[in-house]
Amino acid sequence: MRRPALSLHVLLLGAACTGLLVVPAQMSATLAGPGPEHVAEGYGGGVSSPDSAATAAGSDALAAGGNATDAAVAAAAVLAVTEPAAAGLGGGAVLLRFDPEAGTVERIERCNPAGAATAWQAALQQWGTTSLGAALEPARALATGQLAASLTAVTDRGPRALRSGALGASVRDAAAEAGVVLSPARLPRAMLAEASPYQELDVYGGSAGTLARLEPPATGAGLTADAAVRRVLAATAEGADGPDDDAVVGVVAADRWGGVTAVALTLGVRGGAAPVPGAGFPLGAPTAGGCGAAAPTIVTRTADRLTAPRDLPATGQSAYLAVVGTGGTGRPAAGAATGVASLVSGRVERGLALDQALEAPRGVRVGPRRMVLEAGLGADAVRGLGRLVASGDAPEAAALVALEVKDDGRVQAVAERRRGGGGSAAVVHPDTD
């Protein structure tokens, strides 16, 4: 794969922004090891995920010269080990990628049961620079017992190991017992994603509909915190298709060449449909509409050719934002869509910094007419939210991971501090200030 030299303005959020990462040739690939850090900023690419081991796997891939897809798949495979109730070989996956050479967004989706490894393989072959076996190595090193053996089988034989041999027989038996139709075994081709307009930007993926439905704020009036929360809730569709929010995890990655890849993994429902005997992982449950609103979201904008630091693609588009939900309330897709729209609108319209947009209070629906604040907010967070009050029966809002690429090529990776138990963020060359 040819690696373009292109400068992008990018924000990656959650499962899911994109950006340009330009690293001077003389800089070494010294990685700031991820851990409990929720915010990391610097050069050379970055990764954000809900788990420190997954973030480390993605960061190591970037530091070794891999691109954003290599990093995202390595991190996703680790999440299949560390987040087994929401992700795994028996589940599905959807990936979005901003192509810095073409200025377009592409999508690969295999959200049905046992489709994740097929989606990873397809993404690496079409967008990546490494093999599936190499990308799975950090996950294999963490796994034990039956799951380690299953990962070894997929490493050796690729996704077809889930359709043939002893492991394939166990998967088929579990699917027949649970009445589940498995994902197609063939590798999917990347397809151009369809854009929706928002604030003179183009939005792709799971939350495009929610952002497109946002009512314009009153002319000349600032968007208060209370109004911002209510506005996003009003735009969130009830009964959205897709997996339950608590059965989704995601990761976002940006590389030094301006590529961005965001991935959402899911078992459909938390814990999946049924265990796969002797395999160490559960089989996912089918969902209406595939990944639906749980899919990553990427936002692009038309760049100014006169001020752009490097040549732009023919489309003139540069990546700006990308977001993925990574856990939440359990209501199908609605929590992820609300969270992503809240983060994007906070960053774009309210001018909040990325970490502030991520931490800002969000609302949730409790029933068809009632809107309340999410659970777990302190008194300081509630101030200025008017009549929208906290409620004892409110669920926790969906967690997100995010990454922004600044105009000067720096990357800010951000993960949750409290929602979903927190997350982990890292960049390759951290700022020393």
CA nearest 309: which of 390, 410, 383?
410
Q: Residue 429: is its pLDDT beyond 60?
A: yes
Q: Name which residue leads in pLDDT, 241 or 287.
A: 287
Q: Residue 285: is its pLDDT beyond 60?
A: yes
Q: How far apart are CA 1 and CA 3, in angstroms?
A: 6
Q: How far apart are CA 386 and CA 382, in angstroms?
A: 8
Using pLDDT thresholds of 50, 70 and 90, give the confidence band for residue 309. low
Look at residue 207 in the predicted model and tell me its pLDDT: 86
Contacts of 216 (CB under 8 A, 6+ apart): none
241 within a domain of the structure (yes/no): no
What is the average per-residue pLDDT within 51-60?
97
Helix/strand/coil for 105 = strand
* Parent domain of 80: 10-208+253-323+402-430
57 within a domain of the structure (yes/no): yes
Of 211-215, 291-295, 395-399, the one with minimum mean pLDDT is 395-399
Burial of 202-216, coded b for 16+ CB within 10 Å and e otherwise, reads bbbbbbbbbbebbee
pLDDT digits (tens, 9 = 90+) for 117-157: 999 999 999 999 999 999 999 999 999 999 999 999 999 99
Of 145-154, 169-178, 181-190, 386-395, the one with minimum mean pLDDT is 386-395
Q: How far apart are CA 39 and CA 20, in angstroms?
A: 18
Q: Name which residue leads in pLDDT, 99 or 174.
A: 174
186 within a domain of the structure (yes/no): yes
Output the DSSP codes for 309-371: SSPPPTT-EEEEEEEEE-S-SSSBTHHHHHHHHHHHHHHHTS---HHHHHHS--EEESSSS-E
CA nearest 323: which of 1, 79, 34, 11?
11
What region does 241 belong to: left with phi over 0, alpha with psi -120 to 50, or beta?
A: beta
Residue spans of alpha helices (H) in 179-272: 208-212, 225-235
Q: How far apart are CA 70 and CA 61, in angstroms?
A: 6
Q: Residue 433: is its pLDDT beyond 90?
A: no
383 within a domain of the structure (yes/no): no
Q: How far apart are CA 160 and CA 148, in angstroms?
A: 17
53 within a domain of the structure (yes/no): yes
Contacts of 433 (CB under 8 A, 6+ apart): none
Using pLDDT thresholds of 50, 70 and 90, give the confidence band for residue 12. very low
131 within a domain of the structure (yes/no): yes
156 within a domain of the structure (yes/no): yes
Residue type, 17: C
pTM of the model as a whole: 0.88
The total of structural domains in the chain comes to 1
Look at residue 2 in the predicted model and tell me its pLDDT: 36
261 within a domain of the structure (yes/no): yes
